[in-house]
Amino acid sequence: MANPIFKGSAVAIVTPMNNDGSVNYEEYGKLIEFQINNGTDAIVACGTTGESATLTKEEHCEVIRYTIEKVNKRVPVIAGTGSNDTVFAAELSKEAEDFGADAILSVTPYYNKTSQAGLVRHYTYIADRINIPMILYNVPSRTGCNIKPETYAQLAKHPNIQATKEANGDLSALVRTMALCGDQLDVYSGEDSQAFSITAMGGLGVISVFANVCPRECHDMMALALKGNFKESFAMQKYYIELMDMLFSDVNPIPVKAAMNLLGFQCGPCRLPLAPMSEQGFEALRVCLKKYGIIQ
Ramachandran bin of 182, using left for φ above 0, alpha for ψ from -120 to 50, beta for the remaining angles: left
The predicted pLDDT at position 270 comes to 96
What tens-digit pLDDT sequence spans the chain (296 residues)? Answer: 679 999 999 999 999 999 999 999 999 999 999 999 999 999 999 999 999 999 999 999 999 999 999 999 999 999 999 999 999 999 999 999 999 999 999 999 999 999 999 999 999 999 999 999 999 999 999 999 999 999 999 999 999 999 999 999 999 999 999 999 999 999 999 999 999 999 999 999 999 999 999 999 999 999 999 999 999 999 999 999 999 999 999 999 999 999 999 999 999 999 999 999 999 999 999 999 999 999 98
pLDDT of amino acid 1: 63
9-19 residues labelled b (16+ CB within 10 A) or e (exposed): bbbbbbbbbee
219-233 in b/e form (b: 16+ CB < 10 A) is bbbbbbbbeeeeeeb
* 3-state secondary structure (DSSP) of residue 136: strand
Domain ranges of the chain: 8-229
* pTM greater than 0.85: yes
Catalytic residue annotation: 137, 165
- Among 105, 119, 93, residue whose Cα is nearest residue 50: 105
Alpha-carbon distance values, 175 to 178, 203, 250 (Å): 5, 11, 29
Contact 9, 188 (CB under 8 A): no
The DSSP bridge partners found for residue 134 are 104, 161
Question: How far, rounded to the nearest angstrom, does the alpha carbon of residue 15 sit from its chain's CA centroid?
Answer: 13
User: Could you say which architecture CATH assigns to the domain 8-229?
Assistant: Alpha-Beta Barrel (3.20)
List the beta bridge partners of residue 8: 205
Comparing C-alpha atoms, which of 128, 77, 85 is closest to residue 104? 77
